[in-house]
Structure 1
Amino acid sequence: MDAAKTPHSANPWTADISDENTKITTSSLLLVLEGVAVATKAPGKYVEPLVEWLQQRQHTSDAANNPDAALPFREWLAAIISNPRNCNDGTRQLVQVTLAVALLREKARGGQNLDGASIDSIWSPIYEAIISARDTELQFTVSRSAQGFLAVPLCSLVKDGRIQELWRLHTWLPDGQRGVSEEVCIHAHQPYGQSWILLGSGTDCTFEVDTPADSSLTTHAVYECCYCAADGKQNGTGYQTHQMSSTIRSTGRLVRVTPASRISHSRDMTYSVPGGAYHRSIVPGGRLHATLFVFDAHRGYDDAAAVLGPKDGGEWVQPRDPDGITAEVLAQIVDATRKWEQAHGAASEGDDEHDTVMGYYRYFRGMALLKDEGQESALQYLNPPESCTPAQAFTHEPSMQHQTYITELMKAGVVSS
């Protein structure tokens, strides 16, 4: 077995989607598919058969009276896989992400609440697509956000540098290496944002921002953001899905910032951030936290949104390099930890992560490094000095899955039998 892979039993074509009430239109699927193709840099050979099939459905005699007929997730899945052209690797992963995002999109815009089972049913096909994409030409990429998390784009619809919809997986790792400066953490988004918590907890802090007549009362300067695309070309303020870095520069305009609220959010909860609302997210350095997040201009947009920083500051550059962490590793960590939290509960606020959760993080990160960079790089995670090793964490909580992990460590020569 590939040392960086972990066995999984779920059948990617029989996702457990119990929702039979939320229906997805053909036009919605076509739009989401366009965004998934951009996010994953999908080649035409994966995308075109799906587009052709969906467009043909809109022009069949059966659909003459309703060319945009809507179906629930399960019926769409059955219809799509009935066509052999849609069943090859690459196209299959596109279908999984497209259907999952489209379902969450319909629920979000309809103001529907999601319980844990509903979030599971959306996360499951996304997880399956990411971990099975290695042998395809899809690219689930990872970038480091200036706000401290690692982001995996799932669906990106951007027009003339302006975000229409951007769906992503956000993950804060429990290594404290967040790559964020406390001086420039308060910010606003141009599009409306909504987050669904997959695991862990975080605190969303909001702020009131105004311009007092007395400049001595100001506390921050307003900074504008520009992006450097993955090809190294500076692109001004227009958003780029795949970036090399971002830079914020002071505009010289001074404002007063006043704390307004602090609200904690945990597993299976959701919260929203209106466009133009200033806020910051706090996740302690020793904690793991993950969310599914969307920027949706359909639900609001504020052109004036910016980043706030020191009054006397100049500029900050945020490299997007994820330090070798792949989307596959993030998905494995998130899925394993979400299942563990379901059985054990999340760590109390203020505490560091449980040894088993840290074991998951170190195991998946270390096994990926073992394959790509060799044992020396991997040992800092698989056999860390003065810290609980993955083998020790799994031994403390014996299970069939944990025994599988230990067996993989033995095969890799990291622990003895």
Structure 2
Amino acid sequence: MTGHTIDIAIAGGGLAGGLVALALARTRPDLRIALVEEGAALGGHHRWSWFASDLDREGTALMEEFRIARWQGYAVRFPQFPRDLSTGYCSLHSADFDGALRAVLPSDAIRTGRRIAALDAGGIDLADGERIAARAVIDARGIADAAALTGGWQVFLGRHLRTRRPHGVDRPTIMDAAVDQHGALRFVYTLPLGPDELFVEDTYYADAPTLNREALSGRIDRYCQAHGWEGEAIDHETGVLPVITGGDFAAFQRAHGTPGVAAIGTRGGFVHPLTSYTLPFAVETALAIAGSADLDGESLAAMIADRAREQWRRTAYYRTLGRMMFGAGAPGQRRRAFALVYRQPEPVIERFYAARSTTADRARILCGKPPVPVLGALRALVEPGQPLARSAA
């Protein structure tokens, strides 16, 4: 592509970048695009999950390109409070993400195994010296940390298990928080991927971004043993995600932005601050870009930056909940915040996860017995939080 200007160059072939490429291929096949990813596969090694109610009709249609695991209903468990819910739940593995994108996108649009040395409003410079010149550039490379923001961390280890006999699990357990907390909000997340396949993930809302693989693996062993699930591990996944409770979003944008380049995904701040869910926001952003694909690079970057600031404004409530959860009471009490959410009617829960809670929803969740001591909550709302820098661990 050296010497030729394409329409849109996307740096980063993870969820956010890949969905933009897909949306453009579906709605604007006339455009020339480049999707550049340092890794060997698009999407890396991840599993993304979401509630069916998170996406509108257009977003659901976009995701139909992928092979998705679906369930009608799910369960949650808290001490003395188990509940089954009827909302549909979906999950996508990165291998299926990669395969579908390679089937849909032109082969010359995908550039995997290529390290990006630099980028600017006019294109992407690869480490091997190649320049991909473009009318518009999108940066979807994610972030290492976010020192301008405050909060805690969601740390997890997931195991894909093939059981020796059918496990009998027919629906996901999104949050089994009726387990030992180990100094954090801990829950176990289980997806039945087949009659003899389970994905079991041990997750922590922790103060530091420390992932102890040996400890988490041992706890998964004991959880599986307690449920009678015997078999072999065929894959695993780890992650350390920010849980955002506040900070200076303008400073975050400056630190992760490049003039004239549209920053999307976590790099742009498109994430649910309390749950760390990204897929619904990645879908919304991809569709917005596809609908504005004729904008010049600077106009596209300004439009996306405005959307990010609006999302920061409308998700303030979830950061408030996060400040109370992390800043007040003992870590073992953090599960009470999610227990309050899951005692609500299903539409309230759906809007909570989609970051669309109404004023009435917000009042319902916080009314009654608070999830943390009142004085501690008030103190947490006025004190600065811990910067989200991994070096702080």
- TM-score, L = length of structure 2: 0.26
Rg (Cα) greater in structure: 1
If asked which structure has higher relative contact order (CA below 8 Å, sep 6+), I would say 2
Point out the structure with the larger strand share: 2
- TM-score, L = length of structure 1: 0.25
